[in-house]
């Protein structure tokens, strides 16, 4: 029999009985773990232990399901959360999970943002266990509220910064940036563009996204203006293969990610660092501020399910709001 302290500063016990290993974690003191260990050992001998699937077995089933349903980045993040929880709690029966254990684990997280992120993934696993595996698990998540967080205001690059960025870019980099700017697409949507998604005759571009309820792929069509037509037509004439618009010669496939491009390009251009998603935020703000484009059109452009999500992207003050606040001028002196 053995008892040790985990990274989460809680104690874990482990023992073997008839060549089967048993363990449990989440105890505040070594004495508490030892008492629980003796009780567990007695229950095992008497055949009174809880039956059910182990945490790792449930997690692996969920991850297999997630791999087919979610983006690779989402799947990998979920896997990381479950691995961290497994180190904290041990490979116990899923039905033995209690609000107290989950609460102790979440309190080991370094920030409220991380607390909420791990809560979300573990609650998704619990929901999967209840609804799809029919395990007798209490709906723990209702008893654990989210932590308050302060969302950082996303800084939107100026038109001057964008111009500097384009001047400092190579032809290939410039083509990618301009495609984002003329479609307001997410970087993953742009890197997934195939030539089947580009129609020069009818002048549209088709972007695919999985950020929808249910995780299904859904297309939206973006009108191709003259600038975007010129960018894509140049890429078409110089293409080395017939499938991907943004082709990686080194991997002989499309680019999956471009994590180093924007930091290096911002340094070259001498502008404050920002990422691809800031370009997507910049487009609707520019259209709303400079050209008073209706929010419903911007919602369609961005591919948002709700207008509320689109409003997050509009880093401008509506003219009617300005007029309202001007009514207060001179009211008190």
d(CA 67, CA 161): 38
* pLDDT at res. 253: 94
d(CA 5, CA 251): 45
228-269 pLDDT, tens per residue? 999 999 999 999 999 999 999 999 999 988 999 999 999 999
Following DSSP, what letter does each residue of 116-175 receive, concatenated? HHHHHHHHHHHHHHHHTS------GGGGSPPPP--PPPPPPPPHHHHHHHHHHS-HHHHH
Contact 93, 101 (CB under 8 A): no
One pLDDT digit (tens) per residue for the chain, 333 residues? 588 887 667 788 878 776 666 777 777 888 888 888 888 888 777 655 555 688 998 999 999 999 988 888 899 999 999 999 999 998 888 988 888 899 999 999 999 999 999 999 999 999 999 888 888 787 888 778 899 988 766 778 999 999 999 999 999 999 999 999 999 999 999 999 999 999 999 999 999 987 666 667 889 999 999 999 999 999 999 999 999 999 999 999 999 889 999 999 999 999 999 999 999 999 998 898 888 888 899 899 988 888 888 887 776 666 677 777 777 777 776
d(CA 40, CA 324): 68
Helix (H, G, I), strand (E, B) or coil at 52: coil
Domains by residue range for the chain, with CATH: 2-143 (1.10.150.130), 160-321 (1.10.443.10)
* pLDDT at res. 2: 81
Helix (H, G, I), strand (E, B) or coil at 185: coil
d(CA 86, CA 91): 6
Burial profile 173-189: b = 16 or more Cβ within 10 angstroms, e = fewer? bbbbbbbbbbbbbbbbb
* pLDDT at res. 261: 96
* pLDDT at res. 136: 79
67-82 pLDDT, tens per residue? 988 888 899 999 999 9
* pLDDT at res. 318: 66
């Amino acid at each position: 029999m053995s008892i040790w302290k985990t990274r989460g500063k809680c104690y874990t016990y482990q023992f073997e009985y008839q060549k089967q290993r048993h363990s449990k974690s989440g105890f505040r003191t070594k004495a508490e773990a030892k008492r629980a260990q003796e009780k567990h050992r007695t229950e095992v001998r008497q055949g009174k232990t809880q039956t059910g699937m182990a945490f790792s077995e449930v997690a692996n089933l969920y991850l297999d399901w997630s791999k087919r349903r979610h983006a690779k980045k989402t799947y990998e993040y979920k896997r990381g959360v479950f691995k961290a929880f497994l180190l904290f709690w041990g490979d116990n029966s899923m039905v033995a999970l209690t609000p107290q254990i989950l609460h102790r684990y979440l309190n080991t997280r370094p920030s409220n943002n991380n607390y909420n992120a791990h809560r979300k993934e573990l609650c998704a696993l619990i929901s999967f266990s209840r609804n799809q595996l029919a395990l007798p698990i209490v709906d723990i998540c209702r008893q654990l509220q989210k932590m308050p967080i302060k969302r950082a205001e996303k800084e939107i690059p100026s038109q001057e910064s964008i111009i500097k960025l384009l001047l400092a870019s190579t032809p290939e980099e410039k083509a990618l940036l301009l495609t984002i700017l003329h479609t307001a697409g997410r970087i993953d949507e742009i890197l997934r563009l195939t030539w089947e998604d580009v129609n020069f005759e009818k002048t549209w571009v088709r972007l695919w996204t999985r950020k929808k309820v249910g995780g299904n792929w859904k297309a939206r069509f973006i009108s191709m203006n003259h600038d975007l037509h010129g960018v894509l037509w140049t890429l078409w004439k110089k293409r080395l293969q017939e499938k991907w618009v943004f082709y990686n010669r080194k991997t002989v496939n499309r680019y999956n990610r471009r994590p180093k491009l924007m930091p290096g390009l911002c340094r070259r251009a001498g502008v404050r660092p920002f990422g691809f998603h800031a370009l997507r935020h910049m487009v609707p703000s520019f259209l709303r501020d400079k050209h008073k484009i209706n929010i419903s059109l911007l919602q369609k452009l961005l591919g948002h399910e709700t207008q509320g999500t689109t409003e997050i992207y509009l880093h401008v003050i509506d003219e009617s709001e300005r007029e309202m606040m001007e009514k207060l001028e001179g009211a008190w002196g």
